[in-house]
Structure 1
């Protein structure tokens, strides 16, 4: 009879050990799952898009059109700057200047066939990201 009592005690220890290990594994899965879900909820797992440049531009009327000037701020890839006149694309800064150099403070571009009152815009585009860096009327103060 003493053999049966020892088996019951041994089985009880095994059951407690298996349940304990199972609870530790379950706890680890819950903690890891919560960390993954939390990171996506907080945006830590989201892909970061291109960052809009911080730059200012000016537009001045000329006898033949207008001059757009990079007045201050970040250097910008010239192929990412699009020039629009009254909502119609004239081309990228790179196309219009025939230069792939970055656009930096002091750089200018001449836009022809522009009259006083026309709207000129400079847009920055990078993939799906777009930002209007300036939109103004020619001759506006």
Structure 2
């Protein structure tokens, strides 16, 4: 092989590789800038906690809802839905962790088939999730 011919040969593939690399860099930059501009990753921090709740129904003593296992959750982000409460029961306060419970009272004594949910809402209020759900036994 002649060394002089190696330096004067223009049939290399480097211009093609250079163009491909420039296009790839442009596409990646456009995707990153577009993500920030459109705030597509903004709600990733609003993932719902993982927790398990137990329900104990009593027609005279109300319903006791107990956080059994899982993540600790700020009480102001939890709500119990599905029935009309009479207002005399407790609400979630402080940090709700395993062992924390509240007792809620219903307007009437009959729980027949009522569905109760423990619902989490994010701090911003943009997302929510049902953490636990149960159906009351028929009396």
Q: Equivalent residue of 1:106, what SS? A: coil
Q: Equivalent residue of 1:79, what SS? A: helix
- Cα shift readout 1:32-84 (whole Å, capped 9, x = no counterpart): 4211234468xxx6222411101000111122321111010000010110111
Cα pair distance change 1:77/1:32, threshold 3 Å: same
Larger gyration radius, structure 1 or structure 2: 1
Q: Which runs of 5+ in 1 are unaligned?
A: 1-23
Alignment of 1:114-125 (within 5 A): 115-117=110-112, 118-125=114-121
Q: Is 2:73 aligned against 1:76?
A: yes
Q: Which runs of 5+ in 2 are unaligned?
A: 1-17
TM-score normalized by the length of structure 2 = 0.62
Alignment of 1:34-113 (within 5 A): 34-39=27-32, 46-47=41-42, 48-62=44-58, 63-86=60-83, 96-97=91-92, 99=93, 101-113=94-106
Count of paired positions: 109
TM-score normalized by the length of structure 1 = 0.61
Q: Equivalent residue of 2:96, what SS? A: coil
